Copies of this chain bind each other. A is one copy, B any other.
Amino acid sequence: MQKKSVAVVLCGSGYLDGSEIREAVGTLWALSKHDVTVQCFAPNDTQPDVVNHLAKAIDPSVKRNMLQEAARIARSEIQSLDELNPDLFHAVIFPGGYGVAKSLCDFASQGAKGSVRPDIAKVMNQFHTQGKPIGAICIAPALVALVFKGHGFQLTLGPYSDAAKEIEKLGHKHIECDVKSCVVDEKNKIVTTPAYMVDAAPLHEIFQGIEKLVQEVLRFRAT
């Protein structure tokens, strides 16, 4: 049997303007425990903003590219999202970070009224149509909620919150979940875990949740 392949979609490097670094690394760490090949992707496009992570303030003088910055996490082993062929992968996983809610969609500012980058929506639809699992970490379930508006998925953003309300407005069921665990929508093959939606969670507990998400994602067989 051919080795399973998993795509990991990033969008920069930094919790305030890109992928949450620790969640991305946790995903790669959990995947490395399994006999799978992993390929990272990111949109080859300019970030909407760059945040000075020391000052926690937008630096309007700087432009950065999502693919180039994500390559820092991926140790240069990364491809443009344009090159992602879902036929070649068993599953796709989206780590969180504000970049997901600002760059891959505009959920951060628009909530349930937001829209998703067409290339991201296309990839998610392709995996889902092919009966392949999607994993979404932290705020990334909001991306799933927007793409599959009205589909009645079971998703978690951790404890109930304003963000969870927006998920519900999109016609999904928000399920509260501990940071060490994950929520599995068996029917739709969607797996979600809160990670840094639980702000003060110890890092090793966040990794436990991500590890479970990866296990559940890999459990599904493509139909």
Which A residues are closer than 8 A to B by beta carbons?
Answer: 13-16, 18, 21-22, 25-26, 28-30, 32-33, 52-56, 65, 67-69, 71-76, 78, 202-205, 207
Contacts and interface: CB of A to CB of B under 8 A. Distances in A.
B32 A52 contact: no
Contact of A29 (B13, B32, B33, B207): B207
Contacts of A14: 13, 72
Stoichiometry, copies per complex: 2
Contacts of A76: 16, 53-54, 56
A22 B28 contact: yes
B13 A21 contact: yes
Contact of A25 (B21, B33, B55, B69): B21
A204 B53 contact: no
Given A32-B203, A33-B204, A56-B76, 4 more contacts: A21-B72, A25-B25, A25-B26, A30-B204
A16 B73 CA distance: 11
A62 to B, nearest CB: 9
